[in-house]
Structure 1
Amino acid sequence: MSVIEITEVLCEYRKRLLGTDIAMPRFSWKLHSAERGIIQHACRLQLTLADDIDFHDPLWDSGKIETEQSIQFAYEGKELRARTAYSFRVKAWSSCGAESEWSEAITVETGLLHPSQWQAKWITPDVNRIHRESEPIFQLRREFELDHDIVSARVYATAAGVYELYINGQQASDDVLAPGWTSYHHRLQYQTYDVTALLRNGGNAIGIWLGDGWYRGKLGFNDAHFVYGDHRAALLELHVRYRDGREQVVISDSSWKASTGPVLYSNLYHGEVYDASLEQHGWNEHGFDDSHWSPVQTLRLPYEPLLAQENWATVVTQKIQPVKTGITPAGAHILDMGQNMVGRLRLSVRGADKGSEITLRFAEVLDAEGNIYFGNLRTAKQTVTYRASGDEHEQYAPHFTFQGFRYVQVEGYPGQEQHGLSLADFSGEVLHSDMPSTGEFACSDDRINQLQQNIRWGQRGNFLDVPTDCPQRDERLGWTGDAQVFISTALFNYGGGPFFTKWLHDVQAEQQPDGGIPFVVPNIIEGSSSAAWGDAAVICPWTMYQYYGDTRLLAEQYDSMKRWVDYIRAQGEDEYLWNTGFHFGDWLGLDAKEGDYVGATPTDLIATAYYAYSCRLVAQAADVLNLLDDAAYYHLLHEQVVRAFREEFVTLRGRIAAPTQTAHVLALVFDLVEPAIRARVAADLNRLVVDNDYHLTTGFVGTPYLCFALSDHGYHETAMRLLTQQSYPGWLYSVSQGATTIWEHWDSIKPDGSFWSDDMNSFNHYSYGAVGDWMYRRIAGLDMREDTPAYRRIRLHPQFGGRQLTYARAAHESLYGTIECGWTLDHGQLFVNVRIPANTTASLTLRGAAAEQLLESGQNVHVVAGILRVEKEADGVRLKIGSGVYRFSYPAGGLFRRTYTEQTMLSELQMDQQAVDVLNRHAPQLLNGALTNIVHQSSLRQIADNKITRVSEETLGRIVNELQHL
């Protein structure tokens, strides 16, 4: 009998859930076995109070339940109580009868559960003593006495602004910029901190630093101030439990004291000014003399928006050292971090005179002369000023701001003019939401590997509590269009369950009464309801369901999804076309008119295409949620919109009316054309790419789907040529220019070293990194089935890289466990390595394979354990396999020759009869005449089209050499 074990248990995506408002949480667990083909047959779940460490008296015992479900399993006992810690564990049985041990217990602790349970008061300094618009941060403090035998202590805290919490001189958590950014008028997160170890019997003190942050700092294009409110304020309560069962509560109220602090100015865009000589040592400890401090006043801010933190906290996730220092031609001393990063710089200062200033200015790139480039920051200053205290050794990093940067211009550092800057005195602290890494991709082309790293760094930099468009200039907003095109790539690379759950709740909160969706969420600018931007309200919840099987979130967002589609239907005179209103269109499309940001694809074509796509997803969501009437309604609406699209944008002869790459891409990937003409539309798209010398012209709308449209319709080699295009515009152009993140523009730095316009030129802008989704799903072949979410039924179908790649591998840590698909071409043999987690199965398609030659670990696939079915297909073999680790091998020569000759050569060269003659002389023995026949047929077609191009023998000789190498 096989042995199974439970290797990881999660509650609401977390290994430990501290402070939740979810009274009926969900659990997921991962199974492991050395045996193949393991499926869960049954499970048993228990939940008890955390003090009941041996589960002697569980509050809920599901009993043995026959089910294969091992993710998103909802707790079904009595509702959990507020401010209570519980333990959860699970065991499972496999279909072959093996029984696991109980899993390790995980802790689930509730918060206040309801706004009415708050006892604390909102407090701010007395405005008669400290003006509410004071730029220096506020310091708030309170002393209190505790008895001995403390068992546990929790702080529940939040702010109108951003805050740092201290207990007895120690920072209570690693959180940065808490409570994060939400639609504050509707939703304001509070944090729960375990501070048991920081308290002591006798005298104690709480201290809070309070800054503006997103709440009342300057935000948006107009540097708007007081966006959400004109008072910074704090809200806190501390609950201490003693061994004898007593509880003591300390709350924010009028008994607190207030002062200003050493942070004289702090703004997310502009930076921070810190005067270390103004530090009041011991201000957050017991016994500090606060007699000169000001009183506080309570505010009547609402409690209704308060909810426990949903998102991952923002923390320092990595520390990196600068790689070099230098002096620019303009004479500036700079640090090079070696990586365009988002976060802050920590400096260590020795020997500075009291009051002397060190100024740090942050930027992403150097210009052609080697000087630091600030132009793309627009009005954002990105400047940090530190005034020394005069102590022998000082350390500092900003508290309430962050920068997007690779380079730092340093002024006033002690000794820099005589000795230069020392690398050891500086450290970069990377900040973003603390998402676990879940995705890997690598291949035989180091340029593509760098692209993958750029995609990941771009996500890290822009997933700082909200999915922002850029982290450096005066914007940093949650653009809906950027989020929806990138979400699938994002969820592959990092665990985004809490991140997008929180953001989508804000999308719903910001939705307008008529169903429109703002351009940005949280919404602080004017404008709403552009196609492809507003569709985030539909696409993002559906993608979350696809990755995590999160039907609860889908149900929560379903009304918002419906209202968006209903909003579209209400626009204009034709309810099945969307041809009214403002749209961003194919934003930054390269086929735009001179001086225009909007690509050439008609906006009504894009809008109607997205209308159809969102209709389809809402209908599918209704199917999942078993809303039969809604499902029928939106499936019918989808059919009617598709019909209208065809009548409006497809000619009678089967051409897309708009001759742009994006128009063809959307028609194919959103399934908007008749099956009979799909091949023609795909051929037209391929020709548009080939005729543009294998360069794209797509913008924000078309680019994420372009390679999918090509690969899925027989033109994978063209897609690979696009990916590996190193000249402008192409993904590897920025890599060739030394980029370490994704650029906003294909030519943010032009080949001559000059810059695209300063107006909109971010060097950390993740949208075009959406190509990662295609890399993982098509090159490596690690994919999912749309009808079975969360990778329960895995789809593996690598499309081998022709002459470009000899190796590719992707791995993803799903809720079920690690999935891996990788392939290697070695001396004419193709090796495919696969890892399938327990309680899942996979369909593996191996192109070019023959069943009689296909081996797994040296054995014929027909006799291998774990392989459930072997099916021959026209272009290879498809296997159904159970969980386990597999290594397949088969001869690859025919496959790679066919891929190269049929797709690459004919699209690379326009050949005539002379080319046929040359190839006949060079390579008939290699290809047995097949290539000659293909080229000859192509030549006749090209002669008819009058598109003959003479090809030199030298060029053809090169091709033959490549073929011989294959």
Structure 2
Amino acid sequence: MTELLISTMRTEGRILPLGLDATAPMLGWTFAPSPSHSLMQTAYRIRVAAREELLTDGKPDVWDSGRRESGCQTAIAYEGGALEPRRRYYWQVTVWDEDGNQAESPISWWETGLLRDGQWSGRWIGDASGGADGRPLPRFRRSFRIGKPVRQARAYISGLGHYELRLNGGKVGDHELDPGWTEYDKTVLYTTYDITDALAQGENVAAILLGNGFYNVTGGRYTKFKDSYGAPKCLADLVIEYADGTSETIGTDGAWRAAASPLAFSCIYGGEDYDAALEQEGWDRPGFVEGSAWREASEAEAPSGELVAQSAPALKVMERLSPVAVTEPKPGVFVVDLGRNFSGWPEIAVSGSKGATVKLIPAELLTDEGLANQKWSGSPYEWNYTLKGEGTEIWRPRFTYYGFRYVQVEGVGAALASDTDGQEARGLPILHRMEGQMIYPDVRTTGSFRCSDDRLNRIHEIINRAMLSNMKSVLTDCPHREKLGWLEQVHLMGPSLIFNYDVEALLMKVLADIADAQQPDGLIPTTAPEYVVFQKPWDVFRHAAAWGGASVLAAWELLQRYGNAGALQRHYDTMRRYVDYLTANADGHILRDGLGDWYDVGPNGPGFSQNTPVPLAETAIYYGLTVVMQSIAARLGLAEDADVYARLADSIKAAFNREFFDERTALYAEGSDAALAMPLAIGLAPDAHRDTLFARLVRNVEERGGRTTSGDVGHRYVLLALARGGRSDLIYRMTRSTDTPGYGYQIANGATTLTEAWDGPTVGKSQNHFMLGHLEEWLYTGLAGLDYRYRPESGRFAVTVKPSVVWDVRWAEVRQELRAGQASVRWELGEGRELKVAVEIPINADGAIHIPAAEFDSVAVEGDGARFVGREEGFAVYRTGSGSFTFTRRESP
């Protein structure tokens, strides 16, 4: 009996997805760990059926791939007949190992959405005045009856900018800020919910609340920009299938009733105001008697974007924070400290008289007086809650969020007080409780890092807190001031994200956003969706290659890390047109403008590149894109395109070195860290000068006492160049330093999330950016020493273990869930510099294990199938298949 055991099955990178619009969804599976060694999948068979029992009986009626001799187990496209809308499909896979043993997976499923616009029965409804000119936002209700048993029911809904769907008095699902942000004139997302259990016999009531989101930025307080695609509106179909085989659809139309909601103000940039005194008890439940405020809903003009099922993980309240302190810096003004920076909103419990208003002002920092400081994060932003005066009232915002640690509370007589404190509240409301609610996508945590150095652990934590804080339906730059999807982070921080979280489906959504944002001439702007269009003289903020290049590099990363070739196929035309755009705008194969190494360290403070010529950084990225495009074209069987990109890359490389490399001094430009590291890491540096260039890079950093001057773009390449050159010890020194600039400086000065600037805790700017978090990649691949790549030719993963034993670090460990299964490394120094390295390689993967060892050091191996293949630059190298292995190095006397 084979020991292959399938633990997880995915469709389009998700587990049991509800409501997919993919017509050829990608299927994949993951193996559970096994005590055996060198287990390989050699063949598979996928079967798909319309009913689960058909698979159980061995009679798939939708698709049978037949046995396929392949090690591939991820992102395999469905090849059956046309899928039907609103249909659940069950699937199962059988795999074989090298000995011919077979194993069968559990039965999994995916469910299709509406697949195309024409399947909608409902119509867009809205209220042209809702949310505008100070008017409250609208709400809608519809009463309907059910008189026979329900087999299943689904709700398909899109509400712009955001919505909350309610049934019989309760919220449907736990999503927040749905639907995800898009270029609404190109794509509008809808969500599918299972509402079977929310329905009852007799009268039922469906209700919808609307918020503005990015669809309708009205202003009124702080805004990054003010623009609108239209007034808030919604579209919904409630499809009820009865046990007798009949069905009924309740769609949005003129039969729905509309009224103003208690949501008096809602702006994605400015905050939210809610007047509970205007609530109508039971408005979303059966038996409610409508008054004169209710009227027929009006049909609204449909948005021009195509309706597409939302396939990225939904935003949810994923973490809850409790206050750690409360102060009263001014009489009657309280400041609640939630302990660390995050993005989301507070939930409050408050009591007081009807009509009293509690004001909440969030902030990342405090002024010298101890008050909320929004100088760097967008001001004014606030939440206002007006009480209805009925006992203890629970409230939190619905359709806007902020990045903050502190909440300034005004309009209360006591904060975080018990009921008995009311006698001293001077007739003002009492704030009894506050909870911070952090929102980010419901992504699985797939990696972990720890080591003996607590400062490194804390740096790992603040980088992750910043990544999660800026992980929404796009990857934002910051969770307050801008909330825009700046694209350089997508590829520069892509590996760091992937090492920690399962972001395959989210990255696929980002690539769709990029495709929508692409201009007719091929330009991909620096942000997607492109809500802010930078015009001259600020158009440099629109066309930087390290930003637009995410279209190519993120798609390539999806193949490298998840085995997802579908992204390359779906977006090849987008990538091709972008590289054509760069080529058309290059001057002798040199890109003359852009943002370059944004936010590097120099005398003028953070901002525009100061140390490295912008054309050098832009052209280096341009070259890297063409090299990757050559590989992508070859992977897709486009040999002619691959040849074109190979020749283009050669031409760019030659022009780059003519323009920027001084052979006499062996320097690029003035020899900044980024100017040296980018050619080394990207492959532009002449072979004959690589050692000299690397030595100069090391000297640069050492002469500054372990500091770098690199910024948003260049820093990743500095770390890559140093790590590949064997100087992880220098990276460690740079990282631990508490002098400006650096990660250690941020920790020493109280940062709880990674800041926008290297010295952010003291210089200001955003306190919650992840764009400089490139060290995370080194913690996994450099210090702990775990890296991996998908090999399309075999369909398997190649795992590399190459730990860096540096300075005072006594041990380090990482775990990573690959699409193949779990990989892990733990190394530890023992007595007499003994080094023990424990390694786990997943099933259907190969391992290349590099153990730090001098020529005469001995290495003992535990675990079957590890083959010594030689020595390489201070490492003893072994090849393995799957399994657990322990390598013990003892230094020679």
TM over 0.5: yes
Corresponding residue of 2:320: 319
How many Å separate the matches in 1 of 2:186 and 2:210?
21
Q: Aligned pair in 2 of structure 1 residues 93, 595: CA closer, same or farther (>3 Å)?
A: closer
Q: Is the 8 A contact 1:126 1:294 kept in 2?
A: no
Query: How big is the shift at 1:709?
Result: 1.0
Give the equivalent residue in structure 1 for 2:576.
562
Q: Does 1:739 align with 2:751?
A: yes
Pair 1:90-2:93 in alignment: yes
1:185 deviates by 0.6
Q: Secondary structure at the match of 1:886?
A: strand
Partner residue of 1:772? 776
Change (3 A) 1:492 1:135: farther
* Separation in structure 1 between the aligned mates of residue 454 and residue 792 of structure 2, nearest angstrom: 34
Aligned residues of 2:728 and 2:783 also touching (Cα < 8 A): no
1:848 paired to 2:853 = yes
Residues 592-626 of structure 1 deviation map (CA, whole Å, 9 limit, x = unaligned): 54686322211111111111111111111111111
Normalised to the residue count of structure 1, the TM-score between the two structures is 0.87
Report the secondary structure of 1:560's partner residue. Answer: helix
Q: Distance in 2 between matches of 1:719 and 1:892?
A: 25
CA distance in 2 between counterparts of 1:798 and 1:182 reads: 41
Q: Map of 1:708-747 to 2, 5 A cutoff?
A: 708-747=720-759
Offset at residue 784 of structure 1 (A): 2.1
How many Å separate the matches in 1 of 2:887 and 2:519?
Answer: 53
Question: Structure 1 residues 194 and 324 mapped into 2: Cα distance closer, same or farther (>3 Å)?
Answer: same
Are 1:188 and 1:305, in contact at CA under 8 Å, matched by a contact in 2? yes
Cα distance between partner residues in 2 of 1:568 and 1:621: 18
Task: Determine the C-alpha separation between the residues in 1 that align with 2:43 and 2:55.
Answer: 22
Q: State the partner residue of 1:818.
A: 822
Match of 2:620 in 1: 609
1:467-866 pair list within 5 angstroms: 467-473=475-481, 475-527=482-534, 528-574=542-588, 576-579=589-592, 582-591=593-602, 593=604, 597-653=608-664, 654-750=666-762, 755-756=763-764, 761-785=765-789, 792-801=797-806, 803-827=807-831, 828-848=833-853, 853-857=858-862, 864-866=863-865
- Residues 760-790 of structure 1: CA distance to partner in whole angstroms, max 9, x if unpaired? x000000111221122111111112476699
Separation in 2, partners of 1:243, 1:217: 45
Name the aligned partner's letter for residue 72 of structure 2.
Answer: Q
Quote the Cα distance in structure 2 between the aligned partners of 1:593 and 1:349.
47
Q: Which residue of 1 aligns with 2:121?
A: 119
Task: Give the conservation status (yes or no) of the 8 Å contact 2:131–2:264.
Answer: no
Q: Which moved more, 1:842-851 or 1:820-829?
A: 842-851
Task: Decide whether the 8 Å contact of 2:450 with 2:813 is kept in 1.
Answer: yes
Q: CA-to-partner distance for each residue in 1:569-604, whole Å, 9 max, x for gaps?
A: 111541x2222xx41121121135468632221111
Is 1:75 aligned to residue 83 of structure 2?
Answer: no
Amino acid at match of 1:843: A
CA displacement 1:36-87 (0-9 Å, x = unmatched): 1110122222221245376334222333333211111222221221111121
- Report the alpha carbon displacement of residue 424 of structure 1 after superposing the two structures with TM: 6.8
Alignment of 1:209-220 (within 5 A): 209-218=209-218
* 8 A Cα contact 1:851 1:877, kept in partner: no
TM-score of the two chains, using structure 2 as the length reference: 0.93
How far did residue 655 of structure 1 move?
2.3
Aligned-residue offset at 1:502:
0.7
1:609 and 1:832 mapped to 2: Cα distance? 37
Deviation at 1:518, TM superposition (A): 1.1
Change (3 A) 1:666 1:135: farther
Give 1:384's aligned residue: 383
Q: In 2 relative to 1, CA 785–484 (structure 1 residues): closer, same or farther, beyond 3 Å? A: closer
Aligned partners of 1:172 and 1:637: how far apart in 2? 53
Q: How does 1:15-94 map to 2 (within 5 A)?
A: 15-32=15-32, 33-50=34-51, 52=53, 55-56=56-57, 57-59=59-61, 60-94=63-97
Aligned partner letter, 2:60: P
* Mapped contact 2:128–2:232 kept (Cα < 8 A): no
Counterpart CA distance in 2 for 1:10 and 1:784 is: 20
CA distance in 2, matches of 1:572, 1:675: 25
Q: State the Cα deviation string for residues 693-718 of structure 1 (Å, max 9, x = none).
A: 21111111111221221121233222
**CA offset at residue 320 of structure 1?**
1.9
1: distance between equivalents of 2:28 and 2:747? 39
Q: Which residue among 465, 470, 488 is the counterpart of 2:473?
A: 465
Distance 1:394 1:302, change over 3 A: closer
Alignment of 1:407-426 (within 5 A): 407-416=406-415, 425-426=433-434
| Distance in 2, Cα, partners of 1:48 & 1:459 | 39
User: Separation in 2 of the partners of 1:221 and 1:398?
Assistant: 17
Task: Kindly provide the amino acid, as one letter, of the partner of residue 880 in structure 1.
Answer: R
Deviation, structure 1 residue 876: 2.4
| Alpha-carbon distance in structure 2 between the residues aligned to 1:302 and 1:371 | 42
Equivalents in 2 of 1:666, 1:749: separation in Å? 28
Q: Structure 2 vs 1, CA of residues 874 and 312 (structure 1 numbering), >3 Å: closer, same or farther?
A: closer
Shift of 1:208: 0.2
CA distance in 1, matches of 2:746, 2:634: 43
Structure 1 residue 3, shift from structure 2 partner: 2.4
Q: Distance in 2 between matches of 1:593 and 1:359?
A: 38
Query: Which structure ranks higher in relative contact order (CA pairs < 8 Å, sequence separation ≥ 6)?
Result: 2
- d(CA) in 2 for partners of 1:251, 1:12: 28
Q: How large is the RMSD of aligned CA atoms in angstroms?
A: 2.3
Q: Kindly tell me: are residues 852 and 589 of structure 1, through their superposed partners in 2, closer, same or farther at Cα, counting changes over 3 Å?
A: closer
In 2: Cα distance, 1:651 partner to 1:586 partner? 20
1:194-217: CA deviation from partner (whole Å, max 9, x where unpaired): 000011222111100011111002
| Partner of residue 909, structure 1 | none
* Partner amino acid, structure 2, of 1:196: T
Q: Match for 1:271: what amino acid?
A: G
Matched-pair contact (CA < 8 Å) for 2:466–2:753: yes
Q: CA deviation at 1:378?
A: 3.2
Q: Helix, strand or coil: the match of 1:24?
A: coil
Which of 448, 454, 463 is equivalent to 1:446? Answer: 454
Compared with structure 1, are the counterparts of its residues 134 and 422 closer, same or farther at alpha carbon in structure 2 (3 Å cutoff)?
closer
Partner residue in 2 for 1:929: none
Cα separation, partners in 2 of 1:221 and 1:366, compared to 1, 3 Å: closer
Partner of 2:146: 146
The answer on whether the counterparts of 1:363 and 1:373 sit within 8 Å (CA) in structure 2 is yes
Match of 2:538 in 1: none
| Partner SS, residue 273 of structure 1 | strand
8 Å contact 2:131–2:212 — kept in the other structure?
no
Q: Deviations over 1:422-446 (max 9, x none)?
A: 9971111110111111121111111
Please name the residue that 1:7 is paired with.
7
2:186 maps to which residue?
186
- How far apart are 1:516 and its partner, in Å? 0.9
Per the alignment, in what secondary structure is the counterpart of residue 548 of structure 2? coil
Give yes or no for contact 2:412–2:430 (8 Å, CA) kept in 1. Answer: no
Determine which of 456, 466, 470 is the counterpart of 2:464: 456
- Cα gap change, 1:232 to 1:346, in 2 (>3 Å): same
Query: Equivalent residue for 2:348?
Result: 347
Unaligned runs of 5+ in 2: 535-541
Distance in 1 separating the partners of 2:139 and 2:726 = 64
Q: Report the alpha carbon displacement of residue 245 of structure 1 after superposing the two structures with TM.
A: 1.0
Contact 1:189 1:308 in 2 (8 A): yes
Question: Aligned ranges for residues 257-268 of structure 1 at < 5 Å?
Answer: 257-268=257-268
1:377-402 deviation digits (Å, cap 9, x = unpaired): 233x3311111111112111111111
Aligned equivalent of 1:918: none
Paired letter, 1:679 = D
Query: Who is 1:156 aligned against?
Result: 156
| Aligned match of 1:898 | none
